[in-house]
């Protein structure tokens, strides 16, 4: 059945060894917002300081529960609204939800004004109030009873989650996976004796993933990686009533944030997630639009304590992504090798057995490799630097069939209009994500200008151009780093 699906979509080819693999991705057309000019420039990976990783939380740090607020001795009985305040920001300051502030102060809507005095409840008063998380859970349970997944949909989703668990990924978890999912399923069957057909694969998936969904509650410390909302995104005057923070609309609409400009990108101290939705979607390896479908009763801007329904994957814990050791030590008795298939898939082998299949895409057209390369070191928390010098291949004569890579890191400022380099800060929304893996030609340790890295656009990385080399989702590059020792041979097919 899987093979018939693959043939009908025309997405599989056969390697010289007979292995089935996805075909090449479609040509990239759009450009990641804010990088419209930047894609033409030379960039280098620059080190970042570990102290710059993570945004500063309010002091004292709120606890994960929305019903617990800062220490009593630092908690005022009243708060005077300041210019630029919004209920969601005041709630974060005192460990409260928008709904709780409105209930205590008898507010009918989200409108507040500078100079207005709001009552701040005591810890005892706050703990006695019902939490939004309980409401969400109740609404979700009711919603599930009304709309249970069909057997086919549940089994297909379980298989997506299982394959991701096994590090055979077809990309972000979605309600209706594309033909790549069928190809990865077939590849898993062909390389695992205990899952050699659809029936045994389904049985194994059910044993490993008995529950398709689990729950995740937003914690205060998660907001180290989530940029605070800009005032205009939560201001009651500019936000429709059905989309205001704290409301529970019939369906939570996607937040339409204006695209970041290049100036905003270079000004940010950390390129963090723009919303809690982005954070949770990446943590649980799913498309943000699918996460919203699963949680359509949640508010537009979820706060601390909000509980999400999420796919039951092994979560990508960004707070632990750089725990040592990063890369494993090479073991001659169990050698690791890697292969790039058609610029769309990274296969990793140990002792000849396929142990991981990870989707990838070039950040821009023209990137390719030949024969064998070598995996070098991994750079955590990369940032990017540029003098805004145009890439060499763009200055070559039209019609060149082999664009040359950009030069190494050293660039003279006299060759450009900038007296010093500009930087894109580290962060999960840096165009090269949370890790950069240096690559070299075979039998060399000289890093090439292009590496394996993460991405800021996991849902769009196969259809939008960006900066960098060969990208994987942040959760997949984090897995790849811990599978690929320094010196691993990388073959292009």
Per residue in 338-359, pLDDT (tens digit) is: 999 999 999 999 999 999 999 9
Q: Does pLDDT of 402 surpass 90?
A: no
**C-alpha closest to that of 315 among 173, 455, 425:** 173
Give the tens place of pLDDT for each residue, 214-270: 999 999 999 999 998 743 333 333 333 333 333 333 444 445 678 889 999 999 999
Sequence ranges of the chain with CATH classification 3.10.350.10: 72-139+215-320
Strands lying side by side in the sheet with 336-341: 353-359, 345-350, 336-341, 489-492, 372-380, 435-441, 452-453, 470-471, 361-362
**78-82, 324-328, 399-403: lowest mean pLDDT where?**
399-403
Sequence ranges of the chain with CATH classification 2.40.440.10: 32-53+324-396+407-492
Give the tens place of pLDDT for each residue, 431-441: 999 999 999 99
3-class DSSP state of 473: coil
**pLDDT interval class at 157 (50, 70, 90):** very high
Q: Does pLDDT of 8 surpass 80?
A: no
> Distance (Å, rounded) from C-alpha 88 to C-alpha 100?
11
Residue 235: per-residue pLDDT: 35
Residue 415: per-residue pLDDT: 53
Give the tens place of pLDDT for each residue, 171-228: 999 998 888 999 999 999 999 999 999 999 999 999 999 999 999 999 999 999 999 8
Higher pLDDT, residue 338 or 67: 338
**pLDDT interval class at 83 (50, 70, 90):** confident
Residue 68: per-residue pLDDT: 39
Q: Does domain 72-139+215-320 have CATH number 3.10.350.10?
A: yes
Distances (CA, A) of 315 to 9, 211, 364, 476: 31, 15, 29, 11
Q: Provide the mean pLDDT of the chain.
A: 80
Q: Does pLDDT of 284 surpass 60?
A: yes
Q: Is the pTM of this model over 0.85?
A: no
**Interior angle at CA 431, CA 396 and CA 439, nearest 5:** 65
> Distance (Å, rounded) from C-alpha 163 to C-alpha 313?
10
- Residue identified by tokens 């990108």 is 265
Q: Does domain 32-53+324-396+407-492 have CATH number 2.40.440.10?
A: yes
Q: Residue 181: which H helix or E strand, with range?
A: helix 179-191
Q: What is the dihedral of CA 259, 262, 263, 268, to 10 degrees?
A: 80
Q: Does pLDDT of 367 surpass 60?
A: yes
DSSP state of 94: T
**68-77, 166-175, 262-271, 416-425: lowest mean pLDDT where?**
68-77
């Amino acid at each position: 059945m899987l093979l018939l699906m693959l043939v009908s979509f025309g997405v599989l080819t056969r390697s010289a060894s007979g292995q089935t693999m996805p075909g090449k991705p479609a040509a990239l057309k759009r450009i990641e917002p804010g990088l419209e000019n930047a894609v033409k420039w030379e960039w280098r990976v620059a080190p970042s300081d570990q102290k710059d990783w993570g945004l500063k939380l309010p002091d004292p740090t709120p606890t994960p529960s929305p019903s617990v607020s800062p220490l009593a001795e630092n908690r005022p009985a009243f708060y005077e609204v300041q210019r630029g305040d919004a209920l969601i920001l005041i709630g974060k300051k005192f460990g409260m939800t928008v709904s709780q502030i409105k209930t205590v102060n008898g507010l009918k809507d989200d409108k507040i004004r500078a100079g207005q005095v709001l009552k701040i409840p005591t810890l005892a008063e706050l703990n006695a109030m019902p939490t939004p998380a309980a409401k969400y859970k109740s609404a979700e349970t009711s919603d599930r009873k009304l709309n249970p997944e069909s057997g086919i949909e549940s089994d297909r989703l379980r298989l997506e989650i299982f394959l991701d668990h096994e590090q055979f990924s077809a990309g972000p978890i979605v309600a209706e996976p594309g033909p790549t999912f069928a190809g990865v399923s077939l590849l898993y069957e062909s390389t695992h004796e205990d899952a050699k057909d659809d029936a045994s694969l389904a049985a194994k998936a059910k044993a490993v993933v008995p529950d398709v969904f689990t729950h995740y509650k937003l914690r205060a410390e998660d907001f180290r990686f989530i940029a605070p909302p800009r005032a205009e995104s939560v201001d009651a005057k500019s936000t429709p009533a059905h989309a205001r923070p704290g409301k529970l609309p019939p369906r939570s609409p996607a937040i339409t944030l204006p695209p970041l400009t290049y100036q905003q990108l270079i000004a940010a101290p950390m390129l963090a997630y723009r919303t809690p939705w982005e954070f949770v979607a990446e943590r649980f390896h799913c498309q943000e639009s699918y996460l919203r479908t699963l949680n359509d009763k949640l508010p537009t801007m979820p706060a601390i304590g909000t509980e999400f329904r999420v796919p039951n994957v092994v979560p990508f814990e960004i707070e632990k992504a750089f725990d040592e050791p990063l890369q494993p030590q090479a073991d001659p008795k169990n050698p690791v090798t890697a292969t790039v298939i058609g610029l769309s898939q990274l296969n990793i082998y140990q002792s000849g057995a396929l142990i991981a299949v990870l989707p990838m895409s070039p950040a821009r057209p023209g990137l390719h490799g030949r024969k064998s390369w070598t995996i070098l070191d991994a750079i955590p928390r990369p940032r990017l630097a540029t003098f805004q010098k145009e890439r060499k291949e763009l200055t070559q004569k039209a019609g060149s069939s082999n664009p040359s890579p950009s030069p190494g890191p050293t660039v003279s400022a006299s060759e450009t209009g900038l007296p010093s380099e500009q930087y894109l800060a580290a962060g999960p929304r840096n165009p090269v994500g949370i890790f950069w893996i240096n690559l070299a030609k075979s039998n060399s340790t000289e890093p090439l200008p292009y590496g394996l890295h993460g991405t800021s656009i996991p849902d769009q990385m196969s259809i939008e151009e960006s900066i960098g080399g060969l990208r994987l989702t942040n959760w997949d590059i984090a897995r790849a780093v811990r599978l690929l020792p320094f010196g691993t041979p990388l073959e292009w097919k």
